[in-house]
């Protein structure tokens, strides 16, 4: 999937303009103008289809097949709990991917059209340019959310929280009992 995405996004680094004698932030790198509006729409649309829609379809298909496979096994109760955890993990990974990347990729299509002056409507330009940094930040947040998600959804972490909660409850009950017996 990542190789597929990398190849689909190759035109964008190639389009970068490097000889502008100005310093720009990552979110607002300059691009060489494309002469044809049709070429801009076609290139950006193709990049979005191959770089986002196709991986999204693959992720959703694999999530569906994984969940279907996990549900298909008849297993004992303890393993049933593990199965539920696995189902939750698979679902959450797909949800985090969609929540983090969908806004960016929807906005990116319009952003490129604004940068290339294909979109000239003032309101749409303003909304697109205003939301770009937020969408980029949300997409970047995925890199942080994935490891956190994996950490908090592991059985070892949940077992440790359960043990800690049990100890806190027991200590409170014991302190109440010792306070009431005096």
Looking at residue 125, which CATH number applies to its domain? 1.20.1070.10
Residue 3 binned pLDDT confidence (cut-offs 50, 70, 90):
confident
How many CB atoms neighbour CB 177 within 10 A? 9
Total count of domains within the chain: 1
pLDDT at 102 over 90: yes
**pLDDT, mean of residues 118-140:** 91
Which pLDDT score, from 0 to 100, does residue 123 have? 95
Tell me, yes or no, if the pTM score tops 0.75: no
pLDDT score of 128: 93
Backbone angles phi, psi at 16, to 5 degrees: -60, 145
What domain range includes position 66?
2-180
In the DSSP assignment, the letter for residue 28 is G
- The residues, any chain, with a CB within 8 Å of residue 121's CB and separated by 6 or more, are none
């Amino acid at each position: 999937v990542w190789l597929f995405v990398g190849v689909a996004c190759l035109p964008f680094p190639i389009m970068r303009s490097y000889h502008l004698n100005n310093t720009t932030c990552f979110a607002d790198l300059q691009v060489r103008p494309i002469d044809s509006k049709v070429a801009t729409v076609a290139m950006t649309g193709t990049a979005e289809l191959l770089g986002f829609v196709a991986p999204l379809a693959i992720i959703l298909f694999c999530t569906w097949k994984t969940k279907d496979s996990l549900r298909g096994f008849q297993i004992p109760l303890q393993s049933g709990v593990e199965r539920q955890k696995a189902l939750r993990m698979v679902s959450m990974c797909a949800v985090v991917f969609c929540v983090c990347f969908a806004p960016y990729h929807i906005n990116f299509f319009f952003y490129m059209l604004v940068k290339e002056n294909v979109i000239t409507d003032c309101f749409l330009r303003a909304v697109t340019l205003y939301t770009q940094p937020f969408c980029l930040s949300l997409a970047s947040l995925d890199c942080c959310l994935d490891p956190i998600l994996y950490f908090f959804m592991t059985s070892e972490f949940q077992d440790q929280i359960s043990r800690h909660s049990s100890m806190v409850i027991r200590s409170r009950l014991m302190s109440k009992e010792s306070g009431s017996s005096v």
